[in-house]
Amino acid sequence: GAGAMAAALSRVPEVEIDGGGVFKYVLVRVRAADGPGKDVVRGHGWAEYHADLFERTAEELAQQGLVCECLGGGRVSHRPEERKIHVYGYSVGFGQADHAVTTEKLKAKYPDYEITWADEGY
């Protein structure tokens, strides 16, 4: 029921990104059926296209009864040795994610990092 859905939603990590490098990311709204949603960040170097990231995420979460909608994409430059993350760019297919939202979520996961974003760049 709704309780189980809410529990499944609460278990979805807000941020999953690679430990370093430059890679594409997507901002995804995850919802339980008819329920509230939350936005999550997924960024990985294996993805050639933003759609690859979104489809993998949607498939995994569909198994838990959760519905996904892609809010846009961009790129992440993650430099762990400098404790810096920069969010920029856009997705041709999904449009540009709200990098400000992404940045806030990254700050929550990496509180000791300097995290910046810019609208320009690809």
Region of residue 121 (left: phi > 0; alpha: psi -120 to 50; beta: else): left
Whole-angstrom distance, CA of residue 14 vs CA of residue 7: 14
Annotation-wise, does 24 bind a ligand?
A: yes
Helices (H), 1-122: 2-11, 50-62, 99-109
Q: Is 50 a known active-site residue?
A: yes
Which one from 50, 78, 86, 99 is the annotated catalytic residue? 50
**Greatest extent of the chain over all pairs of C-alpha atoms, in Å:** 45
Beta strands in 1-122 (DSSP E): 15-17, 21-32, 37-44, 66-79, 84-88, 114-117
Could you tell me which residues are annotated as the binding site for substrate? 24
The set of catalytic residues is: 50
